Structure 1
Amino acid sequence: MKSNTQDISNGDSTKSDWLTNLPDNGRRSFEEAVRNHSAGKYDEALNFYAMALSYAPDEPVILSNIGVLLRSQGKFKASEECYRRALAIDPESPGCWTNLGNVLRRLGKLKEAVYCHRKAFKIDKGFIDAYYNLALVLQDMGKLDESIKIFDFCLKAKPGDPRINWDKALALLSQGDFVHGFEGYEYRWHRDELRVRHFKQPLWDGSPLNGESILLYSEQGFGDTLHLCRYVSEVAKVGGKVILECQTELVSLLKGLDGLDKIVSAGDKLPEFDVQAPLLSLPLIFKHEISSIPSDCPYINPPADAGFPVHVPPGTTYKVGIVWAGKPTHKNDHNRSVSVENFFVFSRLPGVMLYSLQKGAPSIQRDESACGFLVRDLASGCNDFADTAKVMKQLDLVITIDTSVAHLAGALGIPVFVALPYNPDWRWMRERSDSPWYPSMTLFRQQDPGDWDQVFNEMLSVLTMKVSE
């Protein structure tokens, strides 16, 4: 889960002098726009803002509110221009400066975003949201020490703010401070993306279980479950009878986990249990540091009846599975996903055969790019993760973006290259090319935001050496 910047809109502007000077139709249009905007009715709000703007085309409050709305709709360039016009009229608006910084961050213009947020709190030194937004940009830039200092400064003014505590936790985890990072990671339950589960049974505190049954449950995406299900065997070692509730698509793959007593598909009736814990709280419960996390792989083994034999054309000496895109609904998908065409460079190596493991709508890129002869399809024959895992075990290497297949390959102990954006997820940390979670994984990182050519050229160089060995 990625960080959310804090936009500043002018919902209380109905008392401003400029508004009272508008004709009645203009004032009513703005008031109606604010009501619809607050209710999340963006299209209706935009129409009313446009009507209000026709009466006051250079009113910075209207322009700034339109910028906030357009950013919510994903229309980032138009949002940027609204803010710039508003600031050309009123350059002393701290809210508009930090809003511009937010949209520039989304557009990958990080240095410009830093300037905007600094400008905002130079105008208003008590503007905590501008400091917070600056810390997020610095976090994106890998300046973790600086961002944590600013988060701490913000927390002096807002000590219980879930957003600030959450983002500080992500920065700490990215630094490898797992003890303090996972403490703060519990603030995830304040985020809209997660549904808090309520059980009559208590949260496990890490004490010996002495044969008691414990429910471990998934809470986020497939990758999160594949990543942290390694803790099933750890919990079993302290005397627990482990019940795992996970996504239906993972049940057949994970049913053979060491130490697992029962597995339940999410949504099915749960058996009786004594205590419970969400998977992503287990590193905190175990008080694991980066040096003590369970990293033995493989910890997942596909069932014998899963998958199918992979056809290997004559002359093939190196079989490479590829994944180029994640779910479009993921908040950071615009940074992490690429095109199948980025992977074509690997097909130039004699003896290398590429196999698509890509699922979902992006899989159509293989046919649209007329590259069926370069990339063979395996994904369409895989009905669940067990099939995918069994197929992957037959490959020599997997090359993927940051998606569930990266975790699956690592958990299977398969050699895997992961292409990471400039600002990666916390679990990949910063600067290092290896992963403390997965010994068989090599990380390739963008050196500049959006520059995938450098990443794929680096992977090509390493693959070339591997193939020639």
Structure 2
Amino acid sequence: MAGELKIAATSAASPTTVSELFAKAIEQHQAGRMERAIELYRHLVTQHPGYAPAWNNLGVALRATDKFAAAASALRRGTAISPEDAGAWSNLGNALRAIGEYDEAARAHETSLEIDPEAGRVHYNLALVRRDLGDLDAALKGFAEAEGRGFKSSEMFWDRALTYLVSGDLARGFREYEWRWQLPESPPRFSEIETWGGQPFEDKTLLVHMEQGFGDAIQFLRYLPMAAARGGRVIYECPPPLMRLVRNSAVAADIELFEQGTPAPSADLQIPLLSLARVFETTLDTIPNDGPYLQSLADGPKLQVSSDGPRVGLVWTGKPTHKNNRNRSIALETMLPLLEMPEIRFVGLQKGDGSDQPQRLGADALVVNIGERMRDFADTASILEQLDLLVSVDTSVVHLSGALGTPAWALIPYSPDWRWLYGRDDTPWYDSVRLFRQTKPGDWPEVLDRVRDALSQFADAFEKNKSKN
């Protein structure tokens, strides 16, 4: 989570009309009325194109509204006019990072630090880019540089935790992962109940509660039996779309479920689901991975898509509210070279945002999207077990496939989510999942070329096995 530097204030040397308009724009900006602020900044730079503070603030406002490319262009204008503005250079670095221009982003933050080497927030911003580039030692050094200069935000400590995790230092990473409860968007829950520290709890009730997304829930369900083995009664707050599947699975054999959104039963102890990894002192070598831990329902929906060749599930976009969704998702149009493969029958499992892309592209004969017919994860699990393979961007469906033990190929952006680590095409979390990583930021076509080659080999092997049978 990059830190923006302070909005540039008006200069006393500015003409009165410029100062008044700039002050009005700042007022709207600070009040969170971004569209109105952008309108005023735009008017100001149109009338006074050499006024650098307006360009810089326009870039910050555009980035706040997810217009990252335009934000970078505005900030480039501002830094060209006023190259000694350290804050503008770092804000440019933040915008460039958002569009995956990591090398240029690093240079922008470095320029900012050449002007003001004591800016702790900029050391933090640069550390984030170093992590994106895979230079994890430099990232950790940058966090230390920021902290040493008095910058000690919860966001930075949270980002440092993610850096430890993606480096494979899970023990330290999960300890620092508790910083998430200091973030404004993650207020602690059930804080009136004592937090469980891993001790035996005979004759007591432990509440394990939901946090974050469905993929996180699926990944960390594996810890529930370990908690139950410590004694007493365990109750788990289960998201409704997962309820039928979890109830049917061995992972919940000794667990009581209650639906998220309903009143929680009384409990003596509580712990967030993902904190179980810390309690059990998880390392890369001790990740609980004894095979599939979710099982589909026997009476689940049947896949009514016939094919002489492999039937391959396809998911091309994640939840739009995910912070990294623009980098992890792929437009279906980019995937069209895959859909040309005559030996493969593609079955879309896309729900919600992006589910209309086959029809909009006129590609609904190339990929039959049944995602919207899936009522919940139990239905999706049944379909996955009837498919020959899943090819998906980094979404909850990958986790589901891994937890079921069905084969999945995950398409991973250059700067990965922490759980996929760096520099490997497998994952210690799921034996059945293979990773296809970007080799350059944003370069999905190259990834899809490799996937296409691998699918061709997969189809050949499928045909040989079919001939034997």
TM interval, short-chain normalised = over 0.9
Identity %: 38
Instruction: Decide whether the 8 Å contact of 1:86 with 1:96 is kept in 2.
Output: yes
Contact 1:242 1:261 survives alignment (8 Å): yes
Measured in 2, the distance between the counterparts of 1:375 and 1:221 equals 27
Aligned equivalent of 1:75: 67
Q: Paired residue for 2:155?
A: 163
Q: Which residue in the other structure is 2:391 paired with?
A: 399
Instruction: Pick one of 407, 413, 421 that aligns with 1:421.
Output: 413
For residue 287 of structure 2, the aligned residue among 272, 277, 293 is 293
Contact 2:224 2:255 in 1 (8 A): no
CA contact (8 A) 2:206 2:269 kept: yes
Distance 1:226 1:260 in 2: 17
CA–CA separation in structure 1 for the residues paired with 2:56 and 2:211: 37
Amino acid at match of 1:386: A
SS of match in other structure, 1:100: helix
Please state how far the C-alpha of 1:436 moved relative to its aligned partner: 0.5
Q: Could you tell me which residue of structure 2 aligns to residue 9 of structure 1? A: 6
1:447 positional shift? 0.1
Question: How far off is 1:239 after superposition?
Answer: 1.7
Work out the CA distance in 1 between the residues paired with 2:114 and 2:86: 8
Preserved CA contact (<8 Å) 1:215 1:273: yes
1:216·1:244 contact (CA, 8 Å) conserved in 2?
Answer: yes
Equivalent runs, 1:97-136 vs 2, <5 Å: 97-136=89-128
Report the equivalent of 2:255: 261
Query: What is the CA deviation profile of residues 141-173 of structure 1, one whole-angstrom value per residue up to 9, with x for unaligned ones?
Result: 111111111112212223742122111111110
Contact 1:389–1:408 (8 Å) recurs in 2: yes
Summarize the alignment of residues 51-450 of structure 1 with structure 2, pairs less than 5 Å apart. 52-53=44-45, 56-158=48-150, 160-256=152-248, 257-305=251-299, 307-313=300-306, 316-450=308-442
Q: Paired residue for 2:21?
A: 29
Shift in Å, 1:272 = 1.9
Please say which of residues 121-130 and 58-67 is displaced more in the overlay.
Answer: 58-67
Q: Is the 8 A contact 1:98 1:117 kept in 2?
A: yes
Q: Distance in 1 between matches of 2:167 and 2:114?
A: 29
- Cα deviation for residue 366 of structure 1 reads 1.5
Q: Structure 2: how far apart are the matches of 1:107 and 1:381?
A: 34
- Given residue 60 of structure 1, which amino acid in structure 2 is its aligned partner? A
- Offset of residue 347 of structure 1: 4.2
Alpha carbons 1:325, 1:401 under 8 Å: kept: yes
CA distance in 1, matches of 2:431, 2:263: 36
Note the C-alpha offset of 1:232.
0.9
1:51 shift after superposition: 5.2
For residue 243 of structure 1, give the secondary structure of its aligned residue in structure 2. strand
> What is the deviation of 1:258?
3.4
TM superposition shift of 1:297: 2.4
Q: Do 2:58 and 2:71's aligned partners in 1 also have CA atoms closer than 8 Å? A: yes
Give the deviation of 1:339 after TM superposition.
2.2
Q: For 2:355, what is the secondary structure of its paired residue?
A: helix
Deviations 1:66-87 (A, max 9, x none): 2111111222233223222222
Structure 1 residue ranges without an equivalent (≥5): none
Q: Which moved more, 1:367-376 or 1:384-393?
A: 367-376
* Cα distance, 1:120 vs structure 2: 0.6
2:246–2:252 Cα contact (<8 Å) kept: no
| Alpha-carbon contact 1:244-1:260 (below 8 Å) kept | no
Deviates more, 1:254-263 or 1:401-410: 254-263
Out of 443, 453, 456, the residue aligned to residue 448 of structure 2 is 456
The letter for the 1-side match of 2:304 is: H
Deviation by residue 1:187-233 (Cα, 9 ceiling, x = unmatched): 11222332321332211000112242211111111111111111111
CA–CA distance in 1 between the matches of 2:121 and 2:191?
Answer: 35
Structure 2: how far apart are the matches of 1:311 and 1:393?
13
Alpha-carbon offset, residue 437 of structure 1: 0.3
Indicate if the aligned counterparts of 2:190 and 2:270 stay in contact, CA closer than 8 A.
Answer: no
Q: CA deviation at 1:8?
A: 1.5
Separation in 2, partners of 1:231, 1:191: 24
One-letter amino acid of the structure 2 residue matched with residue 147 of structure 1: A
Per-residue deviation, 1:53: 4.7
Cα deviation, residue 61, structure 1: 1.9
SS in 2 for 1:322: strand
Please give the per-residue CA displacement for 1:78-123, whole angstroms capped at 9, x wherever unaligned.
Answer: 3223222222222111111111111111122211111111111111
Per-residue CA distance 1:263-315 (angstroms, 9 max, x = gap): 1111101112221110111111111111101112211112333x3111242x5
2:334 & 2:187 partners in 1: Cα distance? 36
Contact 1:236 1:259 in 2 (8 A): no
**Could you give the per-residue CA deviations for residues 223-254 of structure 1, whole angstroms, max 9, x where no partner exists?**
11111111111111222422110221111111
What's the TM-score, normalizing by structure 2? Answer: 0.93
State the 1:321 CA deviation: 0.8
Partner Cα separation in structure 2 for residue 454 and residue 56 of structure 1: 43
The RMSD of aligned alpha carbons is: 1.9
- Whether the 8 Å contact between 1:26 and 1:51 is mirrored in structure 2 is no
Equivalent residues of 1:258, 1:299 under 8 A apart? no
How far the C-alpha of 1:262 sits from its partner, in A, is 1.5
C-alpha contact 2:120 2:151 (8 A) present in aligned 1: no
Report the secondary structure of 2:194's partner residue.
coil
1:41 is aligned with what amino acid? R
Q: 1:259 to 1:276 in 2, by over 3 A?
A: farther
Is residue 352–residue 372 contact of structure 2 (8 Å, CA) maintained in 1? no
Q: Unaligned 5+ residue runs, structure 2?
A: 462-469
8 Å Cα contact 1:212/1:241 also seen in 2: yes
SS at match of 1:363: coil
Cα offsets for 1:34-85 (capped at 9, x unmatched): 1211110112223333455567542222221121111112222332232222
Counterparts of 2:318 and 2:234, CA distance in 1: 30
